[in-house]
Amino acid sequence: MSLNKLNLLYRAVVLDHAQHPHHKGEISQVTQKVTLHNPSCGDDIQVFICVAQNQISEISFEGQGCTISQASASMMTDVLQGNSVSQALSQCEAFFALTMGKAIAENQKEALGDAAVLGSLAEFPMRIKCATLAWHAAKMALEGTLK
Amino acid sequence: MTIKRETLRKDFPILDRKVNEEPLLYLDNAATLQTPNQVLKKITEFYQKSHANVHRGVYTLAQEATQAYEQVREQVAAFIHAANAHEIVYTRSTTESLNLVASSFGELVVQEGDEILLTIMEHHSNLIPWQQLAKRKKAILKYVPLTVDQTLDVHAFKQQLTEKTKIVALAQTSNVLGVTNPVKKLVELAHQQHAYVVVDAAQTVAHHALDVQDLNVDFLAFSGHKMGAPTGIGVLYGKSELLKAMPPIQFGGEMIENVTKTTATWQPAPWKFEAGTPNIGGVIGLGAAIDYLNHLEMSWIAATEKKLMMHLLPELQKIEGLTIYGPQTVERHEGIVTFNLAHIHPHDVATGLDMLGVEVRAGHHCAQPLMAALGVESTVRASLSFYNSIAEMDRFVYALKMVKEFFNHESE
Ligand SMILES: Cc1ncc(COP(=O)(O)O)c(C=O)c1O
């Protein structure tokens, strides 16, 4: 029996983000916040953003979850922080495509930073929801700013 | 049907497959039991030789199909010791059975201010139908809590039963805690208050002999797929006089007696509850599954699963950082054990085990109020069956230790 395949999903960078998440906790100025629920495990994730002049000045998340959901949320905040709303929205779409095993352009992949390693999720389809939950919350929050 | 206990694993070809390049170790039997060849063969034969719609044609094939369909009803009645085959209603599942009782019977007997008593360990399918009924009727929903050893608090059950309690709905065996509730005694207490008792036997039916008359339950629900039949066939047992009083909730073909442009009259129970073409193939499969279990003998099944749990539980208890929910003693455990490993999310544990070929469930197991009572969001659940072996229990424990080490090591 071997757990080699697990290393594919749980890369060092994933475990590192999960254990020491970046931008965790509510930020002081929030323009939008969205809570999403993972019905399969019951975990909630909350994403907070502060948008000024179409720019994400701050983003953070809160909530307990599995290694994948925590790492993905942490990576996401790194990726989206400082970006324009439209740029961030297209990054969310690129992430969804990547985790579903679809090919995305090299520059899009690069723009996903650490989160690009979660492309290995395509091999673990049952866990895609864990990874995309925070990104869906961010997308909803960002769309909220456009209204 | 030829069945030998010694070689029964051969009846389940799926157990020979590999998962992630490892031999499959299936430990999600509480979710659904694998289907033996004998059941599949019986269904195939039915489709090849006797397939026709039931209760409709006057021709030979239709008569054969109808006879087979009704014969299984007799078989189900005998299997759970119902007084009469007319007390057996075919449904889609436990879920549909419980919804039928809540929507038809519940609607009939529950009035504003009445009480419905549930236990905190209910599966959502024996919770939401009552919750919604209570909402519609402005009735009061009450939950019996757990004791400190995480079994049903019978003392609290007694206290919460009042003359206002119209319905008591409870699981015979919890799909999370693995504990079987003292149904017979609880029914007695409930009946003293003139409450009706609805029992969810989804996790009992394939593991222990059932006797609805001895238990004296008013209704009892279970699913075929948890006992070796295909998915999509379930059973509602109800006492004759209660089924008789209940209105149908689905309308259409098969369930009527006479229809005019403005009126309709119904068949007697159970047929008035079986609107439309039923799952005939599923019924045939259910009959074959009952044959299969009867050949093995329910007492042998119960003893075999107990032996496996006697081996597994102490081994799990030795793993540092592993918390078992529900009773800690083998005596009170059915073949279900739910746990968490400290600092490792259940989904991570389940993915790790899956990589080693071990299929377990992680999540809230459709019992979120219970999870809240246990103070967790989710847990890992392993559930065994008579086709599992002691060697598999050892392999599971070994795999669990590997997964634990993987995540603990990685987090240093
Ligand atoms: C205790 C219990 N009740 C009800 C159900 C629902 O069964 P089904 O999904 O077959 O309707 C299950 C299984 O999922 C269960 O374990």
Across chain B, mean pLDDT equals 96
pLDDT digits (tens, 9 = 90+) for A103-115: 899 999 999 999 9
Helix B298-317, helix B280-296: angle, nearest 10:
80
The percent of residues above 90 in pLDDT, for chain B, comes to: 96
Q: Find the mean pLDDT for residues B76-93.
A: 98
Take atom 14 of ligand 1 and give the residue whose Cα is closest.
Answer: B31
Q: Sorting pLDDT into bands at 50, 70 and 90, what band is B113? A: very high
pLDDT digits (tens, 9 = 90+) for B193-215: 999 999 999 999 999 999 999 99
Q: Between A8 and B63, whose confidence is greater?
A: B63
Residue B123, ligand 1, Cβ within 6 A:
yes
- What does the pLDDT read at residue A1? 59
Quick check: B267 pLDDT over 70? yes
Residues in A touching B22 (Cβ below 8 Å): 1
Nearest chain A residue to B395 by CA: give it: A1
Q: Which CATH architecture has domain A11-146?
A: Alpha-Beta Complex (3.90)
Query: Domain B5-30+297-406 class?
Result: alpha beta
Respond yes or no: is residue B366 known to be catalytic. yes
Q: Identity (one letter) of the amino acid at B56?
A: R
- What does the pLDDT read at residue B1? 65
- What does the pLDDT read at residue A147? 74
**Residue A31 Cα, ligand 1 centroid: separation in angstroms?**
43
Sign (positive/negative) of CA torsion B302, B306, B309, B311? Answer: negative
**By C-alpha distance, which of A85, A92, A90 is closest to A134?**
A92
Q: Identity (one letter) of the amino acid at A142?
A: L
In B239-357, the DSSP E strands lie at: 256-259, 264-266, 322-325, 336-341
Quick check: B322 pLDDT over 90? yes
Q: Sorting pLDDT into bands at 50, 70 and 90, what band is B44? A: very high
- What does the pLDDT read at residue A7? 86
**Residue B221 Cα, ligand 1 centroid: separation in angstroms?**
9
Least confident span in A72-76, B159-163, B174-178, B407-411: B407-411
- What does the pLDDT read at residue A126? 85
- What does the pLDDT read at residue B57? 81
**By C-alpha distance, which of B255, B147, B125 is closest to B198?**
B125
Quick check: B409 pLDDT over 80? no
Helix, strand, coil % (nearest 5) of chain A? 55, 15, 25
pLDDT digits (tens, 9 = 90+) for B214-250: 999 999 999 999 999 999 999 999 999 999 999 999 9
Q: Find the mean pLDDT for residues B22-27.
A: 97
Query: Cβ distance B340 to B319 under 8 Å?
Result: no
Torsion angle defined by CA atoms of residues A111, A112, A113 and A116, in that order, rounded to the nearest 10 degrees: -130
Domain ranges of chain B: 5-30+297-406, 40-295
The minimal CB distance from A6 to the residues B345, B362, B406 is found for B406
Least confident span in B37-41, B57-61, B331-335: B57-61
What ipTM does the predicted assembly reach? 0.84
From the CB of residue B258, how many other CB atoms can be counted at a distance below 10 Å?
Answer: 9
Query: Cβ distance B78 to B263 under 8 Å?
Result: no
Q: Which fold has domain B40-295?
A: Aspartate Aminotransferase; domain 2 (3.40.640)
SS3 B245: helix
Quick check: B412 pLDDT over 60? no
B347–A66: do the CB atoms touch at under 8 Å?
Answer: yes
Q: Find the mean pLDDT for residues B316-340.
A: 96
* Residues B350, B41: Cα–Cα separation, whole Å: 33
SS3 B337: strand
* Residues A34, A36: Cα–Cα separation, whole Å: 7
Same topology between domain B5-30+297-406 and domain B40-295: no
Domain ranges of chain A: 11-146
Query: Cβ distance A36 to A45 under 8 Å?
Result: yes
Residue B97, ligand 1, Cβ within 6 A:
no
From the list B242, B366, B370, B400, the catalytic residue is B366
SS3 A51: strand
Residue A104 φ/ψ region, left for φ over 0, alpha for ψ in the -120 to 50 degree band, beta for the rest:
beta
Q: Which residues contact B126 (CB under 8 A, 6 or more apart)?
A: B94, B98, B118, B169, B170, B171, B198, B200, B221
Nearest chain B residue to A129 by CA: give it: B347
DSSP 8-class letter at B144 = E
Query: Cβ distance A36 to A137 under 8 Å?
Result: yes
- What does the pLDDT read at residue A29? 93
Residues in A touching B378 (Cβ below 8 Å): 41-43
Q: Find the mean pLDDT for residues A46-69.
A: 94
Burial class (CB within 10 angstroms; exposed 0-12, middle 13-18, buried 19+) of A146: exposed
Q: Find the mean pLDDT for residues B259-263.
A: 95
What radius of gyration do chain A's Cα atoms show?
14
Quick check: A32 pLDDT over 90? yes
* Residues B219, A134: Cα–Cα separation, whole Å: 44
- What does the pLDDT read at residue A124? 86
Torsion angle defined by CA atoms of residues A63, A68, A73 and A78, in that order, rounded to the nearest 10 degrees: 140
Least confident span in A86-90, A98-102, B379-383: A98-102
From the CB of residue B315, how many other CB atoms can be counted at a distance below 10 Å?
Answer: 15
From the CB of residue B317, how many other CB atoms can be counted at a distance below 10 Å?
Answer: 13
- What does the pLDDT read at residue B410? 58
**By C-alpha distance, which of B91, B134, B128, B94 is closest to B110?**
B134
pLDDT digits (tens, 9 = 90+) for B336-364: 999 999 999 999 999 999 999 999 999 99
**Residue A89 Cα, ligand 1 centroid: separation in angstroms?**
40
SS3 B172: coil
Q: Find where tokens 């961030």 sit.
A: A88
Query: Cβ distance B42 to B28 under 8 Å?
Result: no
pLDDT digits (tens, 9 = 90+) for B136-147: 999 999 999 999
* Residues B120, B316: Cα–Cα separation, whole Å: 25
Q: Sorting pLDDT into bands at 50, 70 and 90, what band is A2? A: confident
Q: Sorting pLDDT into bands at 50, 70 and 90, what band is B411? A: low
- Written as six digits, the tokens of A62 are 């809160």
